[in-house]
Amino acid sequence: MVTEHLFDNRADMIAALQAECETALRQSIEERGEATFLVSGGSTPEPLYKALSHSDLDWESIYVALVDERWVDFGHDKSNEAFTVKHLIQNKAAVANLVGMKNSAETAAEGLVDCEAAYQQLAQPFDITILGMGSDGHTASLFPHAQGLDEALNPDSAQLCAAIIAKQSEVTGAIVERMTLSLAGLLRSKSLVLLITGDEKLAVLRAAQAGTDVKEMPIRAVLQQQLVPVSIYWAP
């Protein structure tokens, strides 16, 4: 279920992935009148989002939703929702429908019901989901040995979303309270894209592929499942 696309440079990688995203979103709009595009934060997908913001798509028919979010307000500099607005919900994509995860609840656990209700309203299966991967083998906010991870990794769960409290590390930073798509939520996608760059991340990917302990490296749960195709996009 895993296909690797390895590029010599990031510009070619982004161009190829932009084309894949455009095709998937256009096809869904033609078939069902709307499309769902699930996005991750971080510096790696930033050029993809900036490029897509200029794409000639029917953005009014596209629902952009977050893969995960730190439990911080929109004005916080670590907000994935704010990041998405800054880099994707611009230019031609300014009219897209954005669905965030953070709500007014004090904690992610308390906000889970409302977040779940919002995500259940999205057209399923999601058309294309962009994932990243940390040097610790996490993806989305499915962090190694995190509080809430066991439930979040249940592929048979009816829940699209999960509240997570990560173990603090250099990767997590100080903000360990998160909302994330669960593994079951990720598997509601037609296509999963793992977007990574650099030799270090490629080495992490190879380590993940070589082992089986999903609690140690939760990205393994995505790589080992047999339900949804995974496209790996990598460049130096």
What are 232's two structure tokens? Answer: 């790996």
Answer for the pair 160, 233: CB distance below 8 angstroms, yes or no.
no
pLDDT digits (tens, 9 = 90+) for 181-200: 999 999 999 999 999 999 99
Task: Work out the percent of the chain whose per-residue pLDDT is above 90.
Answer: 100
| Confidence (pLDDT) at 182 | 98
Range of the structural domain that residue 19 is part of: 2-235
Q: In the predicted model, what is the mean pLDDT of the chain?
A: 98
Distance CA 63, CA 96 (A): 6
184: which residues sit within 8 A by CB, 6+ positions away?
A: 154, 155, 156, 157, 158, 159, 160
Number of domains in the chain: 1
Distance CA 17, CA 11 (A): 10
pLDDT digits (tens, 9 = 90+) for 139-195: 999 999 999 999 999 999 999 999 999 999 999 999 999 999 999 999 999 999 999
Domain of 8: which CATH number? 3.40.50.1360
The number of beta carbons lying within 10 Å of the beta carbon of residue 31 is: 10
What is the DSSP secondary structure assignment for residue 51, as one 8-state letter?
H
pLDDT digits (tens, 9 = 90+) for 75-128: 999 999 999 999 999 999 999 999 999 999 999 999 999 999 999 999 999 999
Cα 17 to Cα 56, 125, 152, 195, 213: the distances in Å are 15, 20, 28, 9, 29
| Confidence (pLDDT) at 62 | 99
Q: The pTM is what?
A: 0.98
Mean pLDDT for 11-37 is 98
